[in-house]
Amino acid sequence: MDMKNLSDASCPIARGLTCVGDAWSMLILRDASLGLTRFDEFRKSLGIAPTILTRRLATLTEEGLLERRRYSERPPRDEYVLTAAGRDFLPVLILLGAWGRQYRGEGRLARYIDAETGAEIEPVAVDAVTGAKIGTRPIRVATPE
Partner DNA sequence: CATGTCCATATCATTTTGATAGTGACTTCA
Partner DNA sequence: TGAAGTCACTATCAAAATGATATGGACATG
- Interface residues with DNA (CB under 7 A) are 1-2, 22, 24, 38-41, 47-52, 54-55, 57, 68, 74-79
Shortest CB 123 distance to DNA, Å: 27
Q: What is the torsional sign of CA 51, 57, 62, 67? A: negative
Dist CA 4 CA 62 (whole Å): 15
CA–CA dist 60, 72 (Å, integer) = 21
Tell me how far CA of residue 43 lies from CA of 2, 37, 56, in angstroms.
Answer: 26, 11, 11
User: Can residue 51 be called a binding residue for a copy of itself (CB under 8 A)?
Assistant: no
- 54 is a contact residue toward a copy of itself (CB under 8 A): no
Least separation, in Å, of the C-beta of 86 and DNA? 16
Of 107-126, binders to a copy of itself (CB under 8 A) are: 107-117, 119-126
The yes or no reply on residue 99 touching a copy of itself (CB under 8 A) is yes
Binding partner of residue 110 among a copy of itself, DNA, none, CB cut-off 5 to 8 Å per kind: a copy of itself
Residue pair 14/36 in contact by the 8 Å Cβ criterion: no
